[in-house]
Amino acid sequence: VPAGFDVTVKADGADTMLRVSTGTVESALETVGVSVSADDVLSAPLSETLTPDMEITVQRVTYRDVTKTETIRLKPRRKKIIP
C-alpha cells in the first residue's frame, strides 16, 4: 500500500495529480513546475499544509495597457455679432 495522499494542481489549462506524504501548497506547485506571480490568484495560501484530495487552483492575472486614438468632431459654434 503506497504511503501518502493525492493532491491535484490546476493551472494553465492542465490538471496534474501528485502523490505526497506531506508538504505545502508552495512545495506542490514547485514539484509540478508551476510558478506563480504576485498577481496570480491561488485557491489556498502558499504556506497552507497539504491535505488529502486537496485541489490547488491557480488563476493567472495579467494586465495590459491599451491606447486608443479617437477623432472627436466638434460642433460648429455660432458667434453673435452685435453691431
Residue 53: per-residue pLDDT:
96
On the question of pLDDT at 5 being above 60, the answer is: yes
Helix (H, G, I), strand (E, B) or coil at 9: strand
Phi-psi region of 21 (alpha: psi -120 to 50; beta: other; left: phi over 0): alpha
Mean pLDDT of 1-18: 90
Are 47 and 29 spatial neighbours (Cβ–Cβ below 8 Å)? no
For residue range 29-71, what is the model confidence (pLDDT) as tens digits? 999 999 999 999 999 999 999 999 999 999 999 999 999 999 8
How many residues does this entry show for the chain?
83
DSSP class per residue in 13-32: TEEEEEEESS-BHHHHHHHH
